[in-house]
Amino acid sequence: MAAWMKRFIFNCRNSTSRITGELSHQEIKQAELKIVKMIQDEYFIHEVNRKKLNSLTTYKDGEGILRVKTKITYRKDSEDFKNPIILPSHHQVVERLIMTEHKKNSHAGLQMLLNILREHYWILNARKTVRSVLSKCVICLRHAKRNVTTPLHHSQKIQSKMLQFLRSSVLI
């Protein structure tokens, strides 16, 4: 959405060199960074939220994006992995991002999803945040319910058989 809006604004300003067709990877990436910057600016303007960064070594990159400086120096790792983008825990867009990645990766579980997100982002309170988003996935909830009811039925059957046995032995 942001990428389309950005293109629309660009095309209004540059009527002679308008861009048409599908959005390019570059346009999507630029729009994504713009949204990230908006989230960070909005969240870290408050001192109480800035304090949450005290334990981290942070810096702003050339685009003004706040990142964590990790100690990872292995050359083959991507720049995003070495210096992930910081995201707040309580934000609608962040929750949406977590849910999108969860669905995109075949409803990945907590640990796998944390690893996937960590490739690019450093979400504050990540484990708690991801767990809370996962608890809202209707498909996973339905699946978990189904898995729980089966053994319950089984144990209920055993229980009733035991009761029957007990009753019969008392009667005898």
- Supply the minimum distance, in Å, between the C-beta of residue 137 and Zn ion: 3
State which of residues 6, 37, 82, 107 lies at the interface with Zn ion (CB under 5 A). 107
Stretch that binds Zn ion, among 41-49, 69-77, 86-94, 103-111 (CB under 5 A): 103-111
Placement of tokens 């909005």 in the chain: 42
**Pair 66, 86: CB distance under 8 Å:** yes
Q: How far is the CB of 102 from Zn ion (least distance, A)?
A: 6
Task: Give the strand pairing for 85-87 and 58-60.
Answer: unpaired
- Which of the ranges 62-70, 85-93, 138-146, 161-169 carries the binding residues for Zn ion, by CB under 5 A? 138-146
- Per rule CB under 5 A, is residue 137 in the interface with Zn ion? yes
Comparing C-alpha atoms, which of 79, 60, 65 is closest to residue 30?
Answer: 65
- Mark 55-94 with x for binding to Zn ion (rule: CB under 5 A) and - for no binding: ----------------------------------------
Q: Please give the span between the terminal C-alpha atoms of the chain, in angstroms, as a whole number.
A: 76
The answer to whether residue 112 forms part of the interface with Zn ion (CB under 5 A) is: no
User: Does 99 engage in binding with Zn ion (CB under 5 A)?
Assistant: no
**What is the spatial order of strands in the sheet that 58-60 belongs to?**
58-60, 66-68, 85-87, 121-123
Round to whole Å and give the CA distance between 133 and 135. Answer: 5
Rounded distance, CA 3 to CA 27, Å? 6
Q: Which stretch binds Zn ion (CB under 5 A): 4-12, 39-47, 135-143, 159-167?
A: 135-143
Q: Which residues pair with 122 in a beta bridge?
A: 86
140 binds Zn ion (CB under 5 A): yes
Residues in the interface with Zn ion (CB under 5 A) total: 4
Residues that bind Zn ion (CB under 5 A): 107, 137, 139-140
